[in-house]
Chains A and B, each alone.
Chain A
Amino acid sequence: MRFSRRSHAEPEKHSDNLPSRALLWLIASFGLLLTPQTDRLPVWLILVCIVLAGWRWLAQQGRVRLPGRLLRTGIMLALIAVYLVQVRGSFTVDTAASFFVLTVGLKWLETRTARDFYVLFYILVYLATVNFLFHQEIHWALVNVGAIALLLIGLQVLNAPELPGGIKAGWRRLGVMLLKVLPIVVLLFVFFPRMEPLWSVPLVSGQARSGISDTMRPGDISSLAQSSERAFRVTFGGPMPEHRDRYWRGLILDTLDKGTWRQSGYEPYRRPGRVNVDGGVGELQPREYDVLMEPTDQRWAFALENSLAVSDNVVKEEDDLFRFRRPADSAVRYRLALGDSAGQVSQSLKANEARRYLQLPASGNPRARALAEELRQSSDDMGVVRTLLNRFREQPYFYTLRPPRMPNDGIDSLLFDEMRGFCAHYAGAATFVLRSAGIPARVVVGYQGGESGAGNEYLVIRQYDAHAWVEAWIEGRGWIRIDPTAAIAPSRIESGLREAVAEEGSFLENSWASAQRYGNVTAIRWVSQQLDRINYQWQRWVVGYQGQSQLDLMSRLPGGFGMKELGYLTAGIVGVGLLVAGLISALQIRRGARRDPYGRVLAAWYQLCDRAGVPVRSGETPTALASRLAGAEPGVADSARLFARMVNSHYYKAPSRAGEGAQNSDDELKRLRRLLSTMKRQLRRAGKQQPGTSGFNAHSGKHSD
């Protein structure tokens, strides 16, 4: 297809109609880029985007018209108004990203020219960038890169509507290009200096994430138990602790208020610091462990009992809790070490702390209070604890994911009537009884257990491992862990939730698509473990490759690399990369020239003519040159004419078939070369006969062959 047109604009800008196929790729890319956002975006926004892109596509097909300016402005204002109402003035990165998606959607109504196409290309690329803020898993990374590849194919179609070789050639071209530049990309990724953020950027989405929260109602954690989402993964420097010892403490709930346990007072406000997702660096020491936590938007970090902070992005606070310096709005890696279990017994509880841990509502649950009274009278603090646990162990209490509703005096009905509950119920009830008996106690929320990842290299803790237990203050022994669940359903603590509720069959009963639900099927288990391993390595080494890890890696290189050296190195890589690429292409071109032997013979002949005082004029045919040469040097006239004729017949003959042509042209070449040397000889002879008359003579000394 070929057409010509006159215009005063640049040729490319003039095309009013975008090629449909190019647009299709753009729309496909948009669809792909929306998928990582689906869990985050409001439904109406996704629908609006689908409708707008569909509208554009139908308009391309000619079935509907694109809206005029008035209607377009109306739609735009209406949608922005709806958006503003939805957002209600809360400005976060999350809402900004939603707004960005909305603008992309609106832009569809305005894609008429190639320029609009490029604008869409830019904003879609940036949408992929924004996606990376929210999802860093390997499959989402692949989705984003794939969407960008679709965009690049779309650009190819835009620039060459009759894309030669079809889309397949386009993909191949793109693939080859990506493969060629991959080494440079990897080098840049490794060596580009990771700077401190230029300004501080809060990324808290304000969107609820699944995970434990800072309040606990009976029933909260059991709903969490239906989620198989990953909470965090741990790699141990030494041997993995036993399943029953893996109590990951997250936060402490110390206030009971209308049946809900909560933290007393809010977390103190801290200015959001620099983003710092670096864990510790270097090899894990035997007692150390690395945690890679999924984003929670919270400050709390999970740690085994008696841990110490190693990496500097977590701080140990009172009550043995760990907190991040800024909310974990993206996956965070941190490093802790197991401390000595003995030794750090605090002498006594301060008065305000005792008050805090003995707080109870003024009334309610009379039977539980009576039970506490009874226990109190019979023995000391330790005895009360032991008796309470024995009661849980001996009486027919059940551990269930389907607890009955206990609206009034929930603790009473759990302890004496229903006797069926989940860890949160029992932890709350046990704390209540202990406090009634005058023993300071608190509910601890976190995770318990965890499953080995592929090859037992690391531990995966999922949301269904969420757990609640009790800590009580015993004079002389400090805070001790009391887990009523361990007394009621030892299998929960020994081997996890799956075993504990196996009889009931309620494990992940609502999430039928989760691979964990079918964990008993070996193949599925294996596949999901392998996938998780890939993702874990991806997150540890690629996503988590940040300032500290980079400097750590660099410090292992000889010479001790600092930030400045890294900068130089990056500049060097870019420079050398460009240079190498340039050299390669120059070599290719040189080789291409060498591949045309006729061209070389011809060039040699031109040189010869030049020396003979007949320089070739631009655009001159070989025949014309030959006759001029014949005029200047009659001695070579015949050879020159024959040479020119042969060259002509080579360049202007009909293309012959490949096989026989090769043999022919070899012979021809030989003859051409022979003619060339004949001419040289003749010229030399002519030069000797009449010295001084030909320009050739002056150079003949240099020319010995």
Chain B
Amino acid sequence: MNRLIRSRWQRWINRRIPRSDVHLLTQKNLFILPTAAGSVFGMLLLIMLLTGINYQNSLIYLITFLLGAVFVGAMHQTHRNLSGLQLTLVQAGEGFAGDDIQFRLRAAAGKDDAIAITLSEDDTWVRLGHVPAGQSVDVALPVASVFRGYLRPDSIRIETRFPFGLLKAWSWMRPVSAAVVFPRPIAAPDVVSTVDDGDQTASSRSPEGNDHAELRPWREGDMSQRVMWKRFARSGQMVVADWEADKGSPHWLDFNAFSGTDHELRLSYLSWLVIERSKAGTRFGLNLPGQVIEPDAGSTHANRCLRALAVWGEEKPRDATATAHGSRKGTDNLKANTVVSGART
């Protein structure tokens, strides 16, 4: 029953607040309720009223009404604090799985000051402080990531309790853009870097000199050198040979090198290797099933490789209503369970 209500509520919210990277807070999407302190305050007012009635004390009536009216006034103040504020997702950050990924947000106040604003996602939060009317403030909200891939929080909560903390006004921002979470680097087994260290021409090596070749159909992204052109001429089928020997190349970081290991673990190894190579400043290329990045050096290249590792096999979240991606709220799907056990060691 509870769950039903919650899902109904969630659906209603989602209808009310469509996914967008720009979120303008208006009466339509702002919610306001008393806090726990506010509820106790209400009870206090009731007790004060009782005291006033029992002692027939006009001044107690007066002070009770005054505080009650202040409560209502605070409601407007709290509401106005957020109303008119525009929240923009400036940049969804990058990072390694398990780290906090920074979402850079810009809050631009409307015609009223926005005071004492807190942004939160799940259990991380950041205090935005004060945004004067007509100005804007940038803030980075850390979002916990669990596994690699696209990370998109279901909702970022923006809340204020100013002025008295008796009421809280809040809204949710449901961003469209997703951050990219790189696979958590895990030290790769030594075999990779030691095998065939002397061979400097791996990239241009001809297929003929290899004995252990795995043949598979051509996929988009496969390099043309690897296509078995002879076979193509014979049968008209594009067949690609994957050579075991490739993994021995120091230039190529190969997904297929770690046969028998879990895919996610392989990505973690590769992630570690990319970092290592990048630190050493050597050239390297990345070979993923379906995607090959030619050897290069430099931080831009490393970043490109990491991104490729991060989103390998992942669908970019585009739909406007889909649920969270990658954040802790999404951990109930199957993939998460297997990956977390593998990646967190």
Q: Residues of A with Cβ closer than 8 Å to B?
A: 1-8, 11-12, 114-115, 118, 122, 125-126, 128-129, 132-133, 136, 141, 144-145, 148, 152, 155-156, 158-160, 162-164, 170, 173-174, 177-178, 180-182, 184-185, 188-189, 192, 194-195, 197-199, 201, 203, 275-277, 330, 542-547, 577-578, 581, 585-586, 589, 592, 595, 618-619
Contacts and interface: CB of A to CB of B under 8 A. Distances in A.
B37 A118 contact: yes
Given A126-B48, A585-B79, A159 B124 contact: no
B70 interface: yes
Given A118-B37, A126-B47, A543 B58 contact: yes
Contacts of B128: 2
Given A132-B57, A148-B63, A2 B129 contact: yes
Contact of A618 (B20, B37, B165): B20
Interface in B1-45: 18-22, 26-27, 37, 40-41, 44
Given A2-B127, A595-B111, A164 B54 contact: no
Given A192-B61, A201-B54, 16 more contacts: A11-B125, A114-B165, A118-B165, A126-B47, A129-B51, A129-B63, A132-B59, A177-B74, A185-B62, A185-B66, A189-B65, A194-B53, A201-B55, A203-B55, A547-B56, A589-B27
Nearest to B138: A2
A577 B218 CA distance: 74
A275 B55 contact: yes
B162 interface: yes
7 contacts: A2-B139, A4-B127, A158-B165, A197-B56, A275-B56, A589-B83, A618-B176
Contacts of A11: 118, 120, 125, 127
Contacts of B115: 160, 163-164
Given A129-B48, A177-B70, A592 B84 contact: yes
Nearest to B69: A181
B290 to A, nearest CB: 29
Contact of B65 (A1, A6, A192): A192
A148 B44 CA distance: 14
Contacts of B161: 12, 159
A276 B57 CA distance: 10
A173 B77 contact: yes
A159 B162 contact: yes
A122 B161 CA distance: 17
Contacts of B123: 6-8
The 4 A-B residue pairs with the shortest CB-CB distance in the complex, in nearest-first order: A181-B69, A160-B116, A4-B126, A177-B73
Given A122-B44, A581-B72, A199 B54 contact: yes
B232 interface: no
A3 B140 CA distance: 10
Contact of B129 (A1, A133, A152, A180): A1
B142 interface: yes
B76 interface: yes
Contacts of A156: 162-164
A561 B93 CA distance: 67
Q: Which of A141, A159, A592 is packed against the most chain B CB atoms within 10 Å? A: A159
B252 to A, nearest CB: 39
What secondary structure prevails in chain A residues at the interface with B? helix
A13 to B, nearest CB: 9
Nearest to A542: B58
Given A12-B161, A199-B54, A589-B83, A145 B40 contact: no
Given A6-B123, A118-B37, A192-B61, A152 B70 contact: yes
Instruction: Bin the interface of chain B by size.
Output: 35 or more
Contact of B22 (A125, A129, A132, A619): A619
Contact of B70 (A170, A181, A589): A181
Q: Which of A11, A192, A203 is packed against the most chain B CB atoms within 10 Å? A: A11
Given A125-B67, A160-B130, A589-B26, A180 B124 contact: no
A551 to B, nearest CB: 14
A133 B51 CA distance: 9
A72 to B, nearest CB: 23
Nearest to A173: B163
A504 B66 CA distance: 51
A180 B80 CA distance: 15
A8 B120 CA distance: 12
Contacts of A141: 59
Nearest to A180: B73
Interface in B119-152: 120, 123-130, 132, 139-142, 144
B67 A148 contact: yes
Given A122-B44, A189-B61, A197 B125 contact: no
B318 to A, nearest CB: 11
A595 B110 CA distance: 11
B213 interface: no
Given A2-B128, A11-B118, A155-B164, A546 B111 contact: no
A152 B164 contact: yes
A192 B60 CA distance: 13
Nearest to B50: A198
A330 B111 contact: no
Interface string B161-201: 11111100000000010000000000000000000000000
B17 to A, nearest CB: 10
Contacts of B164: 152, 155-156, 159
B320 interface: yes
A136 B127 contact: no
B74 A544 contact: no
Contact of B63 (A122, A128, A173): A128
A585 B55 contact: no
B55 A592 contact: no
A241 B183 CA distance: 99
B246 interface: no
B254 interface: no
A505 B127 CA distance: 69
B94 interface: no
Contacts of B100: 6
Q: Which of A158, A592, A619 is packed against the most chain B CB atoms within 10 Å? A: A619
B75 to A, nearest CB: 9
Interface string B210-221: 000000000000
